[in-house]
Amino acid sequence: MSEEKRYALLIDSDNISSKYIDVIFDELSNIGLITVRRIYGDWTRNVNGWNRDVMLKYSIVPIQQYAYTTGKNATDSAMIIDAMDLLYTGNIEGFCLVSSDSDFTRLATRLRESGKIVIGMGENKTPEAFVNSCTSFKMLDSLYKEENVAADDIHINEADFYAIETDDEKSENVNISSITDIKLIQKAIYDIIDANSDKGKKTHLGEIGSRLQNRYPDFDVRNYGYSKLTTFVSEAFENFELTSNGHQNYVNIKDEIVSKEVIREQITRILKSCKKNECNIGQLNKVLKQNNVSFSIKKYGYSKWSSFLKSFGCFKVNGSNVTIL
């Protein structure tokens, strides 16, 4: 059995609350060993609940960094310098950067360029640039809410339940806007299955998970209200189904084919909206997939766009363009 990867945990106390400490350690401990544990801040003042008890409990080393100038975040500089020192001298395979600050975007990129795994952790307000610069990114407020909602709601009466539910829905709406749109996730799954189909391959559920994680660093089914990838794929979307082959789970697109007549009408509308009633075939395919997520000419028995379009009898193909006859 291969050894677990070793991680350096670096926490920016200026914009991360200590309430997330359990979530941080739970998530990172599932990935590897936390060999370096440091937190940065100006300990002459109260910083987001990070106190002596919390640091001792989790053996986190506090790094003092005075705020020399009002409005300037000296903590960022100290954390970046330490990360680069660890990159060249530390015996570690990965970094966990805990912050919601976009100033760490370049650091995350540089660490990845050096072949290190970079796990980002922050709140849903974290800028997209920082999220995408990490190997994977965990939304702490979403995970914290999932972990604590059951305990918080144990002793409530029926009248209070509806008020709490409404508050949660409002919070959920805010959170969901900060993560990858579920429609993009759906399209990505279609693309993965479609590409495998071209090669005569089945699409394993595990492949869906790993490729979504590679494409969207913030992808985590818990952000969408699910605890398992199997439940997410089978229940969050109407057009996918899971099949089992022993211990292996595969994902298929449900065989729902839009009639050629409907497709003909859509193509006609698209072409009429274009200059000279002419459109590039690639652009036409893109628009049709936006209107019908699972659209593919292979479902109609064609492998070439020119043959598919000519079959309607009302379109003319000119090289890579199509027009109305």
d(CA 183, CA 224): 12
- Is the pLDDT at 166 greater than 60, yes or no? no
d(CA 134, CA 168): 28
- Is the pLDDT at 276 greater than 60, yes or no? yes
* pLDDT (0 to 100) of residue 318: 86
Q: The pTM is what?
A: 0.67
Q: Which residues contact 154 (CB under 8 A, 6 or more apart)?
A: none
Top pLDDT among 24 and 67 is at 24
Strand partners, 278: 323
DSSP letter, residue 101: -
* 72 token code pair: 């300037």
DSSP letter, residue 77: H
Residue 139 sits at the vertex; the CA angle it makes with 65 and 106, to the nearest 5 degrees, is: 50
* pLDDT (0 to 100) of residue 67: 65
Name residue, tokens 């918080």.
Answer: 152
Contact between residue 65 and residue 39 where contact means Cβ atoms under 8 Å apart: no
Lowest-pLDDT choice from 28-42, 44-58, 81-95:
44-58
* pLDDT (0 to 100) of residue 205: 92
d(CA 158, CA 322): 61
- Is the pLDDT at 153 greater than 50, yes or no? no
